[in-house]
Structure 1
């Protein structure tokens, strides 16, 4: 699979997993379950390091910006991300009862239990809990921004580089095999038909939500700057399609920057906000995460209310700050919150990863295209 993109690898893994699960014996499923158990435990172990390695220097670097411009830019990025999450929740909550009617797993069984119990497990206890990692990250990040310690910031930047290397060289390459094992297990236990049907419906809904949210963003930006929002969207389309290919906001920055300046944004503002928004404005990823997590909960028969989801959405907007510029970075940063705030078990997290990565490029494209709209809004405010 070396020469394929991540999305292609995920699709191949799902297909191969379904084929394997339809004819192999229990011994082979146990072998896959053993790999899934070890890999799942490793992901749980690395989550606190992902949070600490990305949120701490992310807040520290952001806090070293240009005062008022930074504050306003960060406010609109966070507001856009949170609004996207709330809209996604309301839409999914309204549509899923009819869209996914009759499709339930009753209980998303853990692939390491029952008939598919692994041959052995390797316990990997995280050094500290997810909430502890978040608190430490916020305290250290704000502290770094306040005392301007170059040495301490350098340490956390090095930690971020190490964690990103683990994600790029270990987690991302092994994820397709993990997903293969999940789908082989679900085929073996007769659950895969439900999952595939849900995948198709949820992905279509997410794509439509992304496009509608971009129209909303550019309608606001166009109204404030007195431009046609659809003309603005057309100008930003190269950034959208570039992000579909790169699956990385960071890798798309040059194109996003060029197209944003074509909207009439002041060059100095675009130069400041676009690299910033590549790390902190994740409206598309938030729509995807909320929609996918609700789908997994719906399949599992678990209740979901705005009271339980709003804290998750608010924390998600912060946790994904400076998420790694690699495919799947947002969902990796969100796994801890899924487990601690929504009660996801390992199998539910695996389903969530598969759902998310199958359309990760769409979320990234929505993120970077929306960056142009938010930058235009900031530019209009500073003009006035």
Structure 2
């Protein structure tokens, strides 16, 4: 059974257990939720440290201009996608009737059997600073021994995510919904989140259109023809829920959009790692929804949210290539910059996983648009170099 099916079963089971509200059983699931939430918080800095350091260290052997153009374009797309999602979310959320809604609060209601605190070894910002320090250092010095350490560390954390965290998520999500149901807030929460998921998916489609209209305008190509060529990548991403697994299809379809082979061969695999505009749209929209639903949060202003979106764009470099990897990496930003607690984290994971396939499809389709834009930059640079050569001759 696919992960999304297991998560749905976990949500339904959690609701039923919470509604029955048998004290011992309810406390048992809340205890599991609390401990697993602490473990996720412990792992987050390692995700950021090893994945970003390993990724940045590999950029040293590439052309500086090509790296700059691809990374800059991908980052701009991710940031603008987050801003786009935030504007839509703060516009839509007040339209949802909240006057009669029961609002759960962080740290209130059912308590577990024990309070186990697993302190992270470092903060998220410290992990981020160390990742760039060592990543850039390895790229500049070509230190094979350090590169091997970070690559092996990345493999270990990837194993923990794929073999421990992801398989246990249905139980964790069940614990979240046991608590919500026991507090009488579960149906109002589900009603709001159903609307948010629909808004997120529509936002994905709108953002894909914006990306290709921009790419088509810059390269004087028909944007809808470009989008049509990328449809196989979209549907492959929808099925695999993995940008990495979709690379062969994305690469093939990107070349059909008149992107040079050398540009596509470099840009598509790189964008699969650093360009997650669809994921950021979902994370931002769902974060606004969670703050709207839970009683202890105030939705930030645009000025307050912009640094969060910019940090998410950087953190997405650390997103593991597994289903739900982006939200695992983003939890560090949400907890430190927005103050999300365990209930908010659990709801974010449940929401994100419910649409993960659509977010991944948006990511890989957008990679095609990024490479069309970078291809124009590469052609311009080649033309400039050719012109300079003829002048010299």
**TM norm structure 1:** 0.95
User: Which SS does the other structure have where 1:251 is aligned?
Assistant: helix
Partner of 1:195: 189
1:26 counterpart = 2:23:
yes
**Could you say which residue in structure 1 is the equivalent of 2:56?**
59
Q: Any residues of structure 2 matched to 1:94-113 within 5 Å, and which?
A: 94-99=91-96, 101-102=98-99, 104-110=101-107, 113=108
Structure 1 equivalent of residue 235 of structure 2: 241
Structure 1 residues 71-105: Cα deviation after superposition (integer angstroms, max 9, x where no partner)? 10110000000000011111111221113543755
Tell me if structure 2 keeps the 8 A contact 1:104–1:300: no
Aligned partner of 1:363 in structure 2 is 359
Structure of higher CA gyration radius: 2
Find the counterpart in structure 1 of residue 141 from structure 2.
Answer: 147
Aligned to 1:77: 74
Correspondence 1:381 to 2:381: no
Q: Report the more deviating stretch, 227-236 or 290-299.
A: 227-236
Aligned counterpart for 1:175 among listed residues 152, 169, 182: 169
The question of whether the paired residues in 2 share the 8 Å contact of 1:256 and 1:274 is answered with: yes
- Residue 13 of structure 1, aligned match among 4, 7, 10: 10
Partner of 1:295: 289
1:204 alignment counterpart: 198
Secondary structure of the structure 1 residue equivalent to 2:243: coil
Residues 297, 304 of structure 1: 8 Å contact kept: no
Q: What CA distance in whole angstroms lies between the structure 1 residues aligned with 2:378 and 2:158?
A: 35
The residue that corresponds to 2:387 in the other structure is none
Asked if 1:90 corresponds to 2:87, the answer is yes
User: Retained in 2: the 8 A contact 1:105–1:300?
Assistant: no
**Cα gap change, 1:49 to 1:226, in 2 (>3 Å):** same
* Structure 1 residue 341 corresponds to structure 2 residue 337: yes
Q: Distance in 1 between matches of 2:158 and 2:373?
A: 32
List 4+ stretches of structure 1 deviating above 4 A: none
Q: Aligned-residue CA RMSD in angstroms?
A: 1.4
Q: Which residue of 2 aligns with 1:273?
A: 267
Q: How does 1:115-126 map to 2 (within 5 A)?
A: 116-126=110-120
Counterparts of 1:62 and 1:14 in 2: how far apart (Å)? Answer: 41
Deviations 1:307-357 (A, max 9, x none): 211111111111110411001111111111111100111111111111111
CA deviations over 1:128-150 (Å, ceiling 9, x no partner): 12221111112112212222212
Counterpart secondary structure, 2:359: helix
Equivalent residue, structure 2, for 1:329: 325
* Matching of residue 353 in structure 1 with residue 346 in structure 2: no
Is 1:232 aligned to 2:226, yes or no?
Answer: yes
Work out the CA distance in 2 between the residues paired with 1:64 and 1:331: 29
SS in 2 for 1:198: helix
Q: Does residue 135 of the first structure (1) align with residue 129 of the second (2)?
A: yes
* Whole-angstrom distance in 1 between the partners of 2:117 and 2:33: 13
Q: 2:104–2:183: 8 Å Cα contact kept in structure 1?
A: no
In structure 2, the gaps of 5 or more residues are 381-393
**Cα separation, 1, equivalents of 2:88 and 2:69:** 28
Confirm or deny: 8 A CA contact 1:284 1:363 kept in the other structure: yes
CA–CA separation in structure 2 for the residues paired with 1:34 and 1:333? 24
Q: Residue 17 of structure 1 contacts residue 180 of structure 1 at CA under 8 Å; is this kept in 2?
A: yes
Instruction: State the secondary structure of the residue aligned to 1:320.
Output: helix
Change (3 A) 1:271 1:122: same
Q: Unaligned stretches of 5+ in structure 1?
A: none
Deviates more, 1:370-379 or 1:90-99: 90-99
Aligned equivalents of 1:217 and 1:197: distance in 2? 31
How many residue pairs are counted as aligned between the two chains?
A: 378
Q: Secondary structure at the match of 2:207?
A: helix
